[in-house]
């Protein structure tokens, strides 16, 4: 198994290289440049061109790419043109905020979706199952940003239950526990949106996995042994049904991190999503490339993690 893992990790490298080349090329093909809006109008055309020449703005694309790779492997991901800070600093600030939302959404959605899926499967075709299925479909079909907009309008503006946007109440100067509560208050809506959408697909997945497992011979064997029905479902069946679900879960953190762009934008949540979006609009090349690479890495790492978890959880893989 260890060999398999190492091979998988090695395979990630050419994929990452491919991603970096494509992103690099694409972003540099975009019209416009990051500097024009930032420059002091008193700077002459000639001076600006000299400056740009010095930082390598006019280098051909492959040269730019190699220069970037050279610095990247040393840990230097460049300077954000917009923020005038090392890219690493900007990203690590924002990443934390996105992680906050993603992890909480994952925990909430899992703890509700899995039990619901199990109950739904054991009561197949009942009213409960029907309603749960419809809710799941709604969750799968509603666009995340539309749900976010609806929540902002009705829960934030109209009913004033939650703040409209952002991470903190500006100017309130909360500290300590009050600050923590304020944070939770601001997190509530975006987490709800993310969690609701996740819950839908997890529930469906758990349900269909359970339905598949309950049909298996070994469940019949368990009943033939005189095992109580509840134990048959929650011990014999569930442990098997959870294997693909855990695999899905492991992959989803990676996907969550990279997919929350629109939701974060609607809530003006200062996370990776808004960062990436803004930096693309600003043509802030170093930031765009670094953050895109990072998010792609998250997806890849998530998939790898899923494979590892699968091997850990399924004895048929572990003991081979």
- What is the per-residue burial (b if ≥16 Cβ within 10 Å, else e) of 15-29? eeeebbeebbeebee
Size of residue set near another protein by CB under 8 A: 65
155 interacts with another protein by CB under 8 A: no
123 interacts with another protein by CB under 8 A: no
Q: Could you give the string, one character per residue 11-50, with x where binding to another protein holds by CB under 8 A and - elsewhere? A: x--xx--xx--xx--xx-xxx-------------------
223 interacts with another protein by CB under 8 A: yes
Of 110 and 292, the one with the shorter C-beta distance to another protein is 292
Stretch that binds another protein, among 82-90, 95-103, 179-187, 233-241 (CB under 8 A): 233-241
Nearest partner of 194 among 114, 74, 302, 103, judged by Cα: 103
Distance CA 197, CA 275 (A): 22
Q: How far is the CB of 76 from another protein (least distance, A)?
A: 23
Q: How far is the CB of 92 from another protein (least distance, A)?
A: 19
Binders of another protein among residues 253 to 312 (CB under 8 A) are 255, 258-259, 261-262, 265, 276-277, 280-281, 288, 292, 295-296, 299-300, 303
**Site residues (CB under 8 A) for another protein?**
11, 14-15, 18-19, 22-23, 26-27, 29-31, 133-134, 137-138, 140-143, 145-146, 149-150, 152-153, 157, 216-218, 220-229, 236, 239-240, 243, 255, 258-259, 261-262, 265, 276-277, 280-281, 288, 292, 295-296, 299-300, 303, 314-316, 319
């Amino acid at each position: 198994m260890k060999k398999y893992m190492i091979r998988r990790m090695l395979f990630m490298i050419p994929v990452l290289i491919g991603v970096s080349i494509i992103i690099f090329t694409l972003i540099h093909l975009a019209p416009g440049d990051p500097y024009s809006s930032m420059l002091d109008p008193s700077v002459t055309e000639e001076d600006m061109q000299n400056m740009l020449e010095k930082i390598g703005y006019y280098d051909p694309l492959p040269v730019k790419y190699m220069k970037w790779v050279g610095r990247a492997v040393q840990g230097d991901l460049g300077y954000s043109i917009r923020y005038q800070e090392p890219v690493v600093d900007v990203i690590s600030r924002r990443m934390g905020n996105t992680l906050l939302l993603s992890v909480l959404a994952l925990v909430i959605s899992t703890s509700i979706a899995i039990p619901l899926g199990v109950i739904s499967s054991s009561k197949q075709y009942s009213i409960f199952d029907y309603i749960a299925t419809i809710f799941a479909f709604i969750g799968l079909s509603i666009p995340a940003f539309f749900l976010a907009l609806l929540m902002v309008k009705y829960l934030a503006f109209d009913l004033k239950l939650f703040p409209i946007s952002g991470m903190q109440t500006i100017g309130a100067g909360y500290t300590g526990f009050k600050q923590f509560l304020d944070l939770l208050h601001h997190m509530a809506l975006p987490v709800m949106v993310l969690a609701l959408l996740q819950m839908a697909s997890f529930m469906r997945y758990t349900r269909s996995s359970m339905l598949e497992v309950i049909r298996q011979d070994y469940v019949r064997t368990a009943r033939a042994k005189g095992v109580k029905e509840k134990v048959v479902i929650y011990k014999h069946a569930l442990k098997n049904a959870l294997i693909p679900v855990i695999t899905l879960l492991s992959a989803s953190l990676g996907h969550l991190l990279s997919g929350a762009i629109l939701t974060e934008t609607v809530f003006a949540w200062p996370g990776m999503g808004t960062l990436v979006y803004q930096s693309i609009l600003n043509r802030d090349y170093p930031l765009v490339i670094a953050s895109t690479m990072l998010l792609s890495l998250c997806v890849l790492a998530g998939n790898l993690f899923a494979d590892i978890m699968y091997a850990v959880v399924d004895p048929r893989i572990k003991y081979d």
